[in-house]
Amino acid sequence: MARQFFVGGNFKMNGTKESVAQIIDNLNKAELPSAVQVVVAPPAPYISVAVAENKQKTVEVSAQNVFDKASGAYTGEISPNQVLDLGAKWTLTGHSERRTIIKESDEFIAEKTKFALEQGLSVILCIGETLEERKSGVTLDVTARQLDAVSKIVSDWTNIVVAYEPVWAIGTGLAATPEDAQETHKGIRAHLAKTIGEKQAAEVRILYGGSVNGKNAVEFKDKADVDGFLVGGASLKPEFVDIIKSRL
C-alpha cells in the first residue's frame, strides 16, 4: 500500500490571532488534493483559533511541543490532554530547536513521544543532524540514536510520522538535494526495519524538513522514501498551498 503524502506546517513562534486565522482561511479557500494529509502547528495560544477556523477535512491541527505529564506543577508546559481539549490531534516532538536551544535529550523526547501517544495524540517525531555531524559523515548514526531512544519504549509506530530535518538546512535557505534526502530517508527506513520490523518501517512516513518552499518541493516528487514535508517559514505564506499540491 502506498504511503499517504503528508505536509506539515510548523509556524514556530510566529503569528497573531489574525494572521493564524488568515493562514487557515487561505487553506479553506484552496482546492486541496483529497489524497494529501495536512497538519498545521501554530503557537500554543492559537491552537484553538486554528481548530475553530479550519473547514478543510484533510487539514488537522498540531501542537509544537508537549510535556510528558498530564497535569501538575510544570510552569509553562502544555500537556497532551490540554492539546486534545483544544481540539488538536497532533504534536511535534524532538524539533531541532528544542534539542539545540532547550537542550532536550533523546530520552526526554522519547518519553514525551510515548506519553503523547498513550494519551491519544499522533506525533511528528523530528530527527536530524548538525552541519558538523554531516561533515563528519555520521548523519545516519545521529538519526539512529535519536530513533532508538523512541523505539526502546514505543513498539507501535502506527501514529508516528518521522520528520528528517537536517539542522544545517533549517532557516538558512540551504537544502539537501533531493538525491541526498532520498539517500538519508532510505537509510532511516532501513534502520527502522531492524528496530521496529520491516512491516512497520515500510508503513512509516518519513518527511523532509529542510527549507522546503513552493519552488523546490516539486523536485522531490519522484523520491521513493520522501513521503512529504515538514515546512517552516513557507507554511506562513500562500506558497504553502503549492507545497501541498507538489505531488500532483
Q: What is the pLDDT of residues 32-49, one digit of tens each?
A: 999 999 999 999 999 999
Give me the mean pLDDT over the 235-244 stretch.
Answer: 97
Query: Per the residue annotation, which of 53, 129, 165, 185 is the catalytic one?
Result: 165
The one-letter code for the residue type at 194 is: K
Residue 190 has pLDDT above 80, yes or no: yes
Tell me whether residue 95 is one of the annotated catalytic residues: yes
Is residue 75 one of the residues assigned to a domain? yes
Q: What is the pTM of this model?
A: 0.97
Exposure of 48 in the CB half-sphere (CA atoms within 13 A): 4
Residue 1 is predicted with a pLDDT of 58
What is the pLDDT of the chain when averaged over all its residues? Answer: 96
Residue 17 is predicted with a pLDDT of 98
Write the CATH number for 239.
3.20.20.70
Give me the mean pLDDT over the 74-80 stretch.
Answer: 98
Residue 185: pLDDT band with limits 50, 70, 90: very high
Residue 172 has pLDDT above 80, yes or no: no
Query: Per the residue annotation, which of 95, 97, 111, 129 is the catalytic one?
Result: 95
Residue 210 is predicted with a pLDDT of 83
Residue 176 is predicted with a pLDDT of 80
Radius of gyration of the chain (CA): 17
Count of C-beta atoms within a 10 Å radius of residue 33: 15
Residue-number span of the structural domain to which 218 is assigned: 6-244
- Decide if 115 contacts 153 (C-beta within 8 A): no
Percentage of the chain with pLDDT > 70? 98
Tell me whether residue 191 is one of the annotated catalytic residues: no
Phi, psi of 191 (to 5 degrees): -65, -45
Is residue 1 one of the residues assigned to a domain? no
Is residue 45 one of the residues assigned to a domain? yes
**What pLDDT digit, counting tens, does each position of 194-210 carry?**
999 999 999 999 999 98
Give me the mean pLDDT over the 129-157 stretch.
Answer: 95
Mean pLDDT check: name the lowest of 14-23, 96-105, 154-163, 166-175: 166-175
The b-or-e profile of 169-208 (16+ CB within 10 A means b, else e) is bbeeeebbebebbbbbbbbbbebbeeebeeebbeebbbbb
Is residue 239 one of the residues assigned to a domain? yes
Give me the mean pLDDT over the 148-160 stretch.
Answer: 98
Residue 70 has pLDDT above 80, yes or no: yes
> How many folded domains does the chain comprise?
1
How far does Cα 111 stand from its chain's mean position? 17
Is residue 162 one of the residues assigned to a domain? yes
